[in-house]
Structure 1
């Protein structure tokens, strides 16, 4: 699939390339000059069509070169492509890492194969494993990472064109990105819908959270069908916005930053083959990646591979840009807000539980009091009965 965009672009080039004029058999300087001109024309045409300028944009193919380019003022539209690797430091497992990855730890769900937990047909028949997993990985139980806040900092600096994410954990939103800043290619827990095409009723995050943590399988209150978070399962189409936005965003992209993804899942991985801005188009990968990038050949002129954890790479780049203190302060401040909110919610829950307990005790006390009063009444009746019996006995004596 990685070859499809190249083939498509090649066809466009062939359609738009004029037929070369017939040349005589005589070789001359003019003929050589003409050939050079045609080659230059074709070279430029390929460059524009494929988004490869061939001009050296970076001073050096290092993180320092990327930082210098961002500071130059020429880099105005940055696109980030991110995957599960940017959330692992938050405690969320990625999918494919041996031993620690999500797929390596699903044995307890008795699946026919690991990927079944995210297959739509299997989900409709057996939703229990997915919702059991959702309780473990539910958004709101984790805090955004340094990497998430670095992307937010790009937005604050007016440099972020868009963030294309494979993640479903909503941590980009928690970090402060808005829906307009995000293309959640594989969907999100932020909203949910009834799976029935005839219904499709929408539910919000709080509704789904309540269902998941009550151990109930979420069912539509309108038609009783399953309700599924709006994450993209195998066998489902990606959101339409993914396709419409990429056609507009990538031709304007000055810098593509790829973090935390192995680029194994299509069509997300194919984004690296899209034409970028013809004037400035370096790619920074804060992981080891291949695909549409050239890091190692003698002709490499624009792509940078920086091998590190995503958080460390973002901190290093922030330091080179003079943003490190600002980034660290943002992380500290936002994490304190999240902790404070969590403590407040826990206090409210504890107060609510205590209130229910007190209410229960009060109800129990009323019941006991009622029983006691009833007991007294019964006792009173019994005493009265005894008195009546005494009178009767007395009456008998008189008659006798």
Structure 2
């Protein structure tokens, strides 16, 4: 490591506390220290970590202002053709349920569980829950085992016992879901990537080809026998769950599992669309997610270097990692500091954010019409199989 590089690091440590967003100076790459430049390039190529410092030196003027108005002006400019949206549990749960979700460590387990807590059900792991005592009869090694594929293959009963108690009676899209559909109606939505398994995007009328359900879906279920894999719709699965029976394949009698991703299973094949979608993105909108579950969280770094990124969430998420900043990479969202030229955070309720966004875009009446006259809430007993409608 060069002498100059060491001095820069020392000065930064002396003047501030750690690597503050407002005061840190990025290390210059590729001029005096070839080894560091090569190291950054190697990491970037191997790990898809995004831009190095050299790519950001120009600080282009992408947005007029780093706020929602700046994003609105950018869309109205006519330069936006391919919007990618990313969403988490925050777009499907009410304020009460966000409190419930806040009790959990945000892992893939929470993403699976949120669909049940969206119905206002207490934590099933709490001894005060009647469901807890019911599950105790199954002698679980630990509560999360319910969502592990190897445990499920041998012992599917605990999962379906929980599913019967917590399964929502209706699937009702939120204004956020209808805003996503509106983006598609306007011809701007390239793809919607969701961590949620509730299939509310489908219920809201977003075409299946526009969706990547990163953690799977409750919309369909399949036989776990690898030689069979017969598919069943949600109506069939719901009838079995409510009848308090373990769903069995009508062809081979093996257990049928919802297509939500369990621990130990690979992500859906459609997740590979990341490779072709994100390089073509000209605006990334992130809704209701803490951006901590990988590999979903890292997708924010897959868009082009000058692509604006908007977060609509209760709190900031996906903030740039100071360690990666020291290495010269731009990894994560950067809302503060002189280096930011494209990242915007609107903090508050996701539905309110989407209402405001639509109003500023001049789409208020369009969104209102979709909510009032679009797809009605979907009652489980009458669910049809396949994607819901078209836009």
Is TM-score (shorter-chain normalized) higher than 0.5?
yes
**Structure 2 residue corresponding to 1:11, chosen from 37, 42, 50:** 42
**Structure 2 residue corresponding to 1:76, chosen from 73, 81, 84:** 81
TM-fit CA distance, 1:298: 2.1
TM-score, structure 2 normalization: 0.70
Question: Cα gap change, 1:12/1:113 in structure 2, threshold over 3 Å: closer, same or farther?
Answer: closer
Query: 1:193·1:229 contact (CA, 8 Å) conserved in 2?
Result: yes
Query: 2:222·2:256 contact (CA, 8 Å) conserved in 1?
Result: yes
Q: Indicate yes or no: 2:312 matched with 1:286.
A: yes
Question: Cα gap change, 1:82/1:114 in structure 2, threshold over 3 Å: closer, same or farther?
Answer: farther
Residues 359-385 of structure 1, C-alpha deviations (whole Å, 9 max, x = no match): xxxxxxxxxxxxxxxxxxxxxxxxxxx
Bigger drift between 302-311 and 289-298 goes to: 289-298
Matches within 5 A, 1:1-400: 10-11=41-42, 46=55, 54-89=59-94, 96-98=101-103, 102=113, 105-107=123-125, 108=132, 109-110=135-136, 111-138=140-167, 141-243=170-272, 245-274=273-302, 276-278=303-305, 280-287=306-313, 288-291=316-319, 292-334=332-374, 337-338=376-377, 342=379
Residues 184-212 of structure 1, C-alpha deviations (whole Å, 9 max, x = no match): 11011122111122222222222212211
Question: Cα gap change, 1:117/1:57 in structure 2, threshold over 3 Å: closer, same or farther?
Answer: same
Partner SS for 2:373? helix
TM-score, structure 1 normalization: 0.68
Query: 2:214·2:268 contact (CA, 8 Å) conserved in 1?
Result: yes
Query: 1:254·1:281 contact (CA, 8 Å) conserved in 2?
Result: yes
Question: How far apart in 2 are the matches of 1:8 and 1:208?
Answer: 51
Ranges in structure 1 where 5+ consecutive residues have no aligned partner: 1-5, 16-41, 347-400
Aligned length: 304
Ranges in structure 2 where 5+ consecutive residues have no aligned partner: 1-36, 47-51, 115-121, 126-131, 320-331, 384-391
Query: 1:85·1:94 contact (CA, 8 Å) conserved in 2?
Result: no
Partner SS for 2:163? helix
User: Which has the larger helix fraction?
Assistant: 1
Query: 1:89·1:145 contact (CA, 8 Å) conserved in 2?
Result: no
TM-fit CA distance, 1:233: 0.6
Partner SS for 1:284? strand
Question: How far apart in 2 are the matches of 1:8 and 1:273?
Answer: 19
Q: Equivalent residue for 1:361?
A: none
CA RMSD of aligned residues (A): 3.2
